[in-house]
Amino acid sequence: MVDIVIPAEYGYVIIVAILSVIQLTGMGISVYQARQQAGVPYPFVYADKAEAETDFDKHVFNCKQRVHQNTLEAFPVFATLLFTGGLSYPIITASAGAFYLLNKILYSRGYSTGTPEKRSQGRFSYLGTLVMLGTSIATVCHLLIN
End-to-end CA distance of the chain: 8
CA atoms of 48 and 125, how far apart (whole Å)? 29
**36-63: pLDDT as tens digits:** 999 999 999 999 999 999 999 999 999 9
- For CA atoms 21, 118, 67, 37, the dihedral sign is positive
Element (H, E) at 139: helix 125-145
What pLDDT, on a 0 to 100 scale, did the predictor assign at position 1? 67
Contact between 77 and 100 under an 8 Å Cβ cutoff? The reply is: no
Contacts within 8 Å (CB) and 24+ apart, 43-46: 45/69
pTM, 2 dp:
0.92
User: What is the pLDDT, as a whole number, of residue 84?
Assistant: 97
Q: pLDDT tens for residues 89-140?
A: 999 999 999 999 999 999 999 999 988 888 888 889 999 999 999 999 999 9
Phi-psi region of 75 (alpha: psi -120 to 50; beta: other; left: phi over 0): alpha
Amino acid letter, 116 = P
Residue-level pLDDT at 94? 98
The Cα 109–Cα 63 span in angstroms is 10
DSSP H or E stretch at residue 124: none
